[in-house]
Chain A
Amino acid sequence: MTEKVKVRIDGEVIAATAGQTILEVARANDKYIPALCYMEGLSAVGACRLCMVEVAGVARLLPACTTPVQEGLSVNTTSPQLHSYRKIALELLLVERNHTCAVCVSSGHCELQSLAQEHGVTHVRYPYNYPKLGVDTTHPRYVLDHNRCILCSRCVRTCAEIEGAHVWDVAGRGIQSRLVSELQRPWGEATSCTSCGKCVQACPTGAMAEKGWGVEEMTKRRTVVSRLSSMREGM
């Protein structure tokens, strides 16, 4: 069943299993590809476009998190072009909503912030959107700040695939897309929410946080979701 294939990542020949994605193979072999919407243990959606890689013989860039490997595949994970595209993707994430690191509970522990720093995003070249967005404080233990949401949908998948409650969804289209809990009920009134908090731990930014923490204080246990998933698979 597990067919072995050989692929080349940044020139190095690596043994992989057919069906694995480029990102899974790369991470298993200490090859770094940045990603925001990907989380080990959850289904991959290819939403953030940060894991784009160059594949030999393919004219366009492909997302590493959703592209399965096949025999003889040759992948390039870094190049000036990839760096430039990833930087653009990060800048567009930053202008879309109101990311103010200075007053954010997750500053210093934020995946978006650290990727921006890693890619040298010292400023953004596009006009800010400044949407007027609310904060859902109705849950007794957690808070959702739409200003800091990047629509990676890690919370949606965590709730649906790991907790099995499926409280979260993304409503609307394009720039109007918003994370919603239970058909747009306030989070605190969502009857299907078990208050397990795994969505909060899965969130890469300060969009979801535990109540009561001040600036820079919200650290997340990122491995919770992956660990639960691997236990379930009996690995």
Chain B
Amino acid sequence: MATKKIVPPAVGAATVEAPAGQASEATRPAMKKITIHHVSRIEGHARITIKLDGAGKVADTQFHVTQIRGFEKFTEGRPYYEMPSITSRICGICPISHELASSKACDAIMAVRIPDTAAKLRELVHMAQFVQSHALSFFHLSAPDLLLGFDFDPAKRNIAGLLEEHPDALRDGIALRKFGQTVIERLARERIHPSWAVPGGVNEPLDPQAREKTLAEWPTAMAIVKRTLELWKKTVDSYPNEIDSFSNFPTMYCGLVGPDGSLRLYDGNLRFVDSDGSMIADQVKPDDYAAYIGEATLSDSYLKAPYYKPVGFDGGIYRVGPLARLNVADRCGTPEADAELAEYRARFGTGAAHRIVQSGFHYHYARLIEATYAMERMHQLLDDPAILGAKVRAHAGVNNLEGVGIIEAPRGTLIHNYKVNDDGAMTWANLIVATGHNNLAMGRGIRQVAERFVDGNHIQEGALNRVSAIVRAYDPCLSCSTHALGTVPLVLELHGPDGALLDEIRTE
């Protein structure tokens, strides 16, 4: 079996293989298969397979998530009030998201309305998490592609290369993430896996000094967000081909909105809009999510594929996350983010009202607008006198046998649904995580990018990097979505018609 390594380890190992006995040019196989083992700069483990036809054109693509964890199963029997801390261990990037969604599901089991101050504090820590997570996605994971270029020397297309070429941008990214993490630490005592959010509220009121310090640091962090947004607004036009082909297809979109249709990240009801912006379902209560969202199991991935139930599997493809949230919401609700949203829609929106931005490439742009919103919302919350209230926790036992908690995690809609027995022991759990919702769209996006950039006769590393980059645009957290273990590798495979491995990219 002829194996040719064509990509340096910075991106991963890709191999193109011809079936045994058919290695010569004259007897070229009718079909080939490329595998990107370990998609790099994402959270979790994944593999991409690209099948090529005899002419070297893309015949099929598959996105395999190769990790499994099983939180839904092994939490059976645990007391429900331990769930926020157990499920926050699903992820080290956004433990806060799981902790909050889980706490909300527990609030529902206790049938309590948490104190106003507690709700505001939870939203505040959530905003800090949005800032740090969006900074991580944009700067640490995607900036090497976006600022250095998809075809940049793969050995340097990483954070070290960024340090050489764009030291100021990298410094901004690190400072912004640090700001978000520091705010989390001030509120919740720990940056990663804090146990501050609890069923019924939070377990400690806000220290007035933490409020003062955060307000003092806020202008510097806000300046970084603005600077980055300006930089990206100038840069985005240099990627017409990527905009055109990175998941640029019509889907439905899903996200939380407030009663007035504005963007909501911590609390709200679900809204689904169609590819043209028309309303499909609005103000869906979290408890009713299962009537709208179904989950299909795929044979070639550990990641389930949620779909919009009224339409059915496969056809009911919808997206979540920054792009979807800005498509779903009527407005952000904070002045600077609303101004940015208007400009973003004017530039890239489709349809009569320029309401819907369709290309998955614009997840990056949307992410920066959301970072602006999160910063503004953080300031609003800190300015609210109620934020320093002392009543932050409601106590209660089991008053409902089932509870649903939904929030918008940085990567999209996060659903925790628990059932308990009369004694409060977990009997069943269902977690639908942002990356899961996007599974079908990522799969289709990979196909679109591969068709556009991958030529089986002349496989370019830059082309395969774009295939990985479409996955990165969604900023998937595969560890979360399969509730699985792992760091960041992804695998891309190219297979021949007989299934022989022709090429693969592997990031260790």
Contacts and interface: CB of A to CB of B under 8 A. Distances in A.
Most buried by B among A211, A212, A217: A212
A217 B79 contact: no
A135 B425 contact: yes
Interface in A125-150: 134-135, 137-138, 140, 143
Contacts of B395: 212
Interface in B79-111: 79, 81-82, 84-86, 89
A140 B199 CA distance: 17
Which one of B89, B195, B421 has the greatest number of beta carbons of chain A within 10 Å? B195
A142 to B, nearest CB: 11
A215 interface: yes
A214 B423 contact: no
Contacts of A215: 82, 84-85, 195
A213 B86 CA distance: 13
Interface string B405-443: 000000000000000010111000000000000000000
A176 B320 CA distance: 49
Nearest to B395: A212
A193 interface: no
A105 interface: yes
A102 B89 CA distance: 9
A214 B85 contact: yes
Nearest to B396: A212
A103 interface: yes
Nearest to B198: A214
Contacts of B86: 103
A216 interface: yes
Contact of B79 (A135, A140, A188): A135
Contact of B397 (A138, A188, A212, A213): A212
Given A212-B395, A214-B203, A135 B81 contact: no
A188 B423 CA distance: 9
B194 to A, nearest CB: 9
Nearest to B195: A215
Contacts of A138: 423
B77 interface: yes
A140 B423 CA distance: 7
B444 interface: no
Contact of A105 (B82, B193, B397, B425): B82
A135 B82 CA distance: 12
B81 A213 contact: yes
Interface string B49-90: 000000000000000000000000000011101101110010
A214 B199 contact: yes
Given A102-B89, A137-B425, A216-B195, A211 B397 contact: yes
A102 B86 CA distance: 8
Contacts, number: 47
Contacts of B423: 137-138, 188
A137 B424 contact: yes
A66 B423 CA distance: 40
A138 B79 CA distance: 11
Interface in A92-107: 102-103, 105
B89 A217 contact: no
A134 B395 CA distance: 25
Interface string A205-225: 000000111111100000000
Contacts of A188: 423
Interface residues of B, number: 20
A188 B84 CA distance: 25
Contact of A135 (B77, B193, B199, B397): B77
B392 to A, nearest CB: 13
B195 A134 contact: no
B127 to A, nearest CB: 22
A152 B137 CA distance: 48
A102 B77 CA distance: 18
B71 to A, nearest CB: 11
A48 B77 CA distance: 28
Interface in B162-205: 193, 195, 198-199, 203
A137 B79 contact: yes
Contacts of A103: 82, 85-86, 89
A217 to B, nearest CB: 6
A60 B395 CA distance: 53
B425 A214 contact: no
Nearest to A213: B81
Contacts of A216: 195
B84 A214 contact: yes
Given A211-B397, A214-B203, A102 B193 contact: yes
Interface in A155-214: 188, 211-214
Interface string B36-49: 00000000000000
Contact of A211 (B79, B84, B421): B79
Contacts of B82: 103, 105, 214-215
A203 to B, nearest CB: 15
Among A105, A137, A138: residue with most chain B CB under 10 A: A137
Interface string B339-369: 0000000000000000000000000000000
A135 B84 contact: no
Contacts of B193: 102
A215 B86 CA distance: 9
A212 B81 contact: yes
A214 B424 contact: no
Contacts of B84: 214-215
Contacts of A213: 81
A214 B81 contact: yes
B400 to A, nearest CB: 15
Contact of A217 (B77, B78, B198, B424): B198
Contacts of B424: 137, 211
Q: Which 6 A-B pairs have the closest CB atoms?
A: A215-B85, A137-B423, A215-B195, A137-B425, A214-B198, A103-B86
Interface of A: 102-103, 105, 134-135, 137-138, 140, 143, 188, 211-217
24 contacts: A102-B85, A102-B89, A102-B193, A103-B89, A135-B77, A135-B78, A135-B425, A137-B79, A137-B423, A137-B424, A138-B423, A140-B397, A211-B79, A211-B81, A211-B397, A211-B424, A212-B81, A213-B81, A214-B81, A214-B84, A214-B195, A215-B82, A215-B195, A216-B195
Given A135-B78, A137-B424, A217-B203, 10 more contacts: A103-B85, A103-B86, A135-B79, A188-B423, A211-B81, A212-B199, A214-B82, A215-B85, A215-B195, A217-B198
